[in-house]
Amino acid sequence: MTRKYFGTDGIRGRVGEPPITADFLLKLGWAAGRVFANEGHGFVLVGKDTRISGYMFESALEAGLTAAGVDTRLLGPMPTPGIAYLTRTLRAQAGIVISASHNPYYDNGVKFFSVQGTKLPDDIEQKIERYIDSPMTTVESSKLGKAKRLVDAAGRYIEFCKASIPTRLDFSGMKIVIDCAHGATYHIAPHVFSEVGATVITIGAEPDGININDECGATKPEKLAATVLAYGADLGIALDGDGDRLVMVDHKGEIVDGDELIYIIAKSRLETGHLSGPVVGTLMTNLGMEHGLKKLGISLIRAKVGDRYVMEMLVEHKGVLGGENSGHIICLDRTTTGDGIIAALQIMAEMHNTGKNLHELKCGMYKYPQVLINIKTDKKVNPENDENIQKAVKAVEKKLNDSGRVLLRASGTEPLIRVMVEGQNGDLVRNYADQLADEVKRAIGA
């Protein structure tokens, strides 16, 4: 069954434009409630990030779930991985996240977690979609759902994060800067890292509803880099609006992306005998990471872009580590989904255990120059079906030979076509990327 509403990461779009409207979220809450009520008994958790529209959508989802006869526990602002954790440990029927992750404040979305703390199975999403397109009804008044606030949610998740590293580790003397992207980790991440002993300088922790991800966080780590240098910090941690992405900065102010962080964790797990299965990356994973892992005797397999697909391949191949260069890092030996705070703690633990700084740890792999160009489009375009685009791609691939890669794809979360070229020569890579971007613009009439 083709999905009508759900994408690779739930339902997402611009607030006020279908389907991200109050009436649709009311219907979505009811539809999900009907499915969950049919599947069993129990409550549903609802959490959100800090964008202003979260208040409206939280109320709409709560009303829909209530009308379907399902009890709700409201978490308030809570990182996406925290909601996954609480869904699992509280034995909730499901967890619902109101967030558009790294997108600007004027976007929002909804994604679901199962009782196992993983993304909902396809068949459950399909059942929800069928109810969305059917008339909404309300259960008899005595069977209406009830809603409560869960007041200790943040404390529970803070303790879970700290437990992801050995209690013997003490980060006293380590100075770190944390950028919370004015998002859902603003009241959690500073406590986690200070409670494990680090001296913490916090930025991006004053959400006002519209400043989430605004020139800060994992998608814009330049301010973090400047702050690390200004304070002479040992490292910087940049999270995104919902806390499932991580980008770091070393003491020299150099940005360390998801590929480099995954490499560091993979090497650490290998040396301690805790790495099993292959590491799972995506089509966007840098070729340098693949080569770096190969030198260690670790195989890399590539999934489609999206942490959902990374997770599927980890389960299929019995792996424990995977992620994306954007900073989604899944440590399946610690948690069930991408978690920026837990991934950062793994890196800090490796620094502590080896006595090396972050700059030294990342030097084990050489990143190939990679150019990514995002082209906005209002049209539904599949680059694979355009003859001229494919002709241009083949010409560039022939020039790169085996020393680089080309990837063109439509974004699953934004109205963009992404053009990526990587290779050993940075100037050539830029020229090839520009050529392909021009061809895509011609094809879509941009």
Which candidate in 101, 164, 268, 326 is catalytic? 101
Strands (E), 171-312: 175-179, 199-203, 235-239, 246-250, 255-256, 279-282, 300-303
Q: How far separated are the first and last CA of the chain, in Å rounded?
A: 32
In this structure, how many other beta carbons lie within 10 angstroms of the beta carbon of residue 231? Answer: 14
Name the CA dihedral angle for 227, 229, 233, 239, rounded to a multiple of 10 degrees: 40
Determine contact, residues 89/73, Cβ cutoff 8 Å.
no
Q: Which long-range contacts (CB under 8 A, 24 or more apart) does 130-136 make?
A: 131/30, 131/31, 131/32, 131/34, 131/35, 132/4, 132/5, 132/27, 132/28, 132/31, 133/4, 134/31, 136/26, 136/27, 136/30, 136/64, 136/67
The string of DSSP codes covering 286-320 is: -HHHHHHHHHTT--EEEEPSSHHHHHHHHHHHT-S
Token pair in block for residue 104: 């600007």
Q: Say how far apart CA 310 and CA 338 lie, in whole Å.
A: 10
Q: Say how far apart CA 422 and CA 432 lie, in whole Å.
A: 9
What Rg do the C-alpha atoms of the chain give, in angstroms?
22
Write the DSSP symbol of residue 206: -
Token pair in block for residue 45: 């958790």
- Cα distances from 171 to residues 192, 258, 267, in angstroms, run 12, 22, 21
Indicate the residue type of 361: L
Q: Say how far apart CA 327 and CA 259 lie, in whole Å.
A: 8
Q: Say how far apart CA 158 and CA 365 lie, in whole Å.
A: 32
Q: Is 141 a catalytic residue?
A: no
Q: Say how far apart CA 294 and CA 62 lie, in whole Å.
A: 49
Token pair in block for residue 268: 């650490």
Helix orientation angle between 22-39 and 53-67, rounded to the nearest 10 degrees: 40
Q: Would you name the residues annotated as active-site residues? A: 101
